[in-house]
Structure 1
Amino acid sequence: MKRVGVLMVALLMPLGGCAEDSPYGEFGPSSSAPAPAATFDADVTVSGTEVQVSYRFANDGDEPLMLINRPGLPAGAGIRYREEAAYVTEDANGGALLSQAIFGFPDTDQTWESIPRVGVTEVPAGGVVEVEVTSVLPLTWFHPFGSDLGTGPMSIPSDVDEVRFCLGVVSSPVPESTTPRTEEDGTRTIGHASAAQHLFCSTPEAL
Structure 2
Amino acid sequence: MTPTRRLLAGAVLLLTLGCAACTGQPSEPADPPAKGTPPDAGFTSTVETRGQALHISYELTNRSDAKLIVFNRVPAFSPSGSMVEDPASVYVIGSEPEGRVQVAKRAFHQLESDRTDWTTTPLAGVSELEPGRSLREEFDVPLPLERRRPYGDDYGDGPVKLPDPVREVVFCVGAGRAADLPAPASPPGGSEFGPVLGHLPTVTAAQHLWCSEPFGL
TM bracket, shorter-chain basis: 0.7 to 0.9
Partner of 2:199: 192
SS in 2 for 1:26: coil
Residue of 47, 52, 62 corresponding to 1:59: 62
What residue identity is the alignment partner of 1:206? G
Partner of 1:132: 138
- Corresponding position: 1:79 with 2:86: no
Check 1:54–1:29 CA distance in 2 against 1; reply closer, same or farther (3 A cut).
Answer: farther
Percent identity, aligned pairs only, is: 28
What residue identity is the alignment partner of 2:184? P
Residues 120-151 of structure 1, C-alpha deviations (whole Å, 9 max, x = no match): 00011111110113221111010001122222
Partner of 1:179: 183
Single out whichever of 50-59 and 99-108 deviates more from structure 2: 99-108
Cα distance in structure 2, aligned partners of 1:104 and 1:171? 17
Partner of 2:165: 159
1:162, CA displacement in angstroms?
0.3
1:83, CA displacement in angstroms?
3.2
Residues 2-48 of structure 1, C-alpha deviations (whole Å, 9 max, x = no match): xxxxxxxxxxxxxxxxxxxxxxx833655514211110100111234
What residue identity is the alignment partner of 1:67? V
Q: What is the CA RMSD across the aligned residues, in angstroms?
A: 1.9
- Corresponding position: 1:108 with 2:118: no
1:172, CA displacement in angstroms?
3.3
Kept in 1: contact 2:71–2:173 (CA 8 A) = yes
Check 1:29–1:188 CA distance in 2 against 1; reply closer, same or farther (3 A cut).
Answer: farther
SS in 2 for 1:173: helix
1:154, CA displacement in angstroms?
2.7
Cα distance in structure 1, aligned partners of 2:155 and 2:122? 14
SS in 1 for 2:180: coil
What residue identity is the alignment partner of 2:183? T
More helix by share: 2
Structure 2 residues without counterparts, runs of 5 or longer? 1-26
**Higher Cα Rg, which structure:** 2
Partner of 1:4: none
Cα distance in structure 1, aligned partners of 2:165 and 2:46? 23
Partner of 1:203: 213
Question: How many pairs were matched up?
Answer: 181
Residues 150-186 of structure 1, C-alpha deviations (whole Å, 9 max, x = no match): 22223213312000011111113133xx211123215
Structure 1 residues without counterparts, runs of 5 or longer? 1-24
What is the TM-score when the length of structure 2 is the normalising length? 0.77
Check 1:63–1:71 CA distance in 2 against 1; reply closer, same or farther (3 A cut).
Answer: same
1:85, CA displacement in angstroms?
1.7
More strand by share: 1
